[in-house]
Amino acid sequence: MAKIPVLEIFGPTIQGEGRVIGRKTMFVRTAGCDYRCSWCDSAFTWDGSAKEDIKLMTAEEIYDALLEIGGHRFNHVTISGGNPALIKGIQELVDLFEDKHIYTALETQGSRFQSWMTQIDDLTISLKPPSSGMKTNLEILDSVINQCTFHSLNLKVVIFDDADYDFAKLIHHRYPNIPFYLQVGNPYLDDNVDQHTDKLLERYEQLVDRVMQSSDMNHVYVLPQLHTLLWSNKKGV
């Protein structure tokens, strides 16, 4: 059986981002990423700082851990990272969740496709804007999107500045028929941030105002990062 590198299993909590924002869910956070985003709030998944915490687990072991932690208080699991799309072995986990009638969500950046992604109930491709320091290969992105299942797919861009907003418009116009979410960025990544909620709400209001004034962004959703509004940068929630 395939082994999956797991850093965290926690919940139940709520999904804080994207189309399933507010959804009660468990989280399985995998290790490893092919990106190095400047503002990544999960850099421990790829920078080596948590390498001692990585557990190689089979699908059955992950399912057993979810039950031990969450009991029967969930029917939805978010597979997070890092970039879980790097891990071919997640196929067995997705198959097991289907057998157990558990809904799944996944977020990836569109740099890699795995066939099991077509089985995900809520698939978010979160494109990394210029502020991340990463560059999206649009040809690869086209290929990934063309292999995904349309009804489960949505796109998301996190907005920190004007260049990010322009990038979001480019993506939205390239794929106008795919549900599109803008999310305000969180530049405050310290463990303790004074008036964090107020600062994030101010940035969120600014993004909402900008979208309301734009004729290029009529078919979009504008979201906060819900978990940071509630719990700041606390991990494991």
pLDDT class for 94, splitting at 50, 70, 90? very high
Residue 207 has pLDDT above 80, yes or no: yes
* pLDDT at position 41: 80
* pLDDT at position 190: 80
Q: Mean pLDDT over residues 161-165, rounded?
A: 97
Residue 234 has pLDDT above 90, yes or no: no
**Residue 237 or residue 58, greater confidence:** 58
pLDDT class for 231, splitting at 50, 70, 90? confident
Domains and CATH numbers, the chain: 4-181 (3.20.20.70)
Residues 6+ apart with CB under 8 A from 114: 85, 87, 88, 90, 91
Q: Mean pLDDT over residues 90-117, rounded?
A: 97
DSSP strand pairing (4-14 vs 55-57): antiparallel
- Percent of the chain scoring above 70 in pLDDT: 100
Q: What share of the chain is helix, strand, coil (3-state, %, to 5)?
A: 35, 20, 40
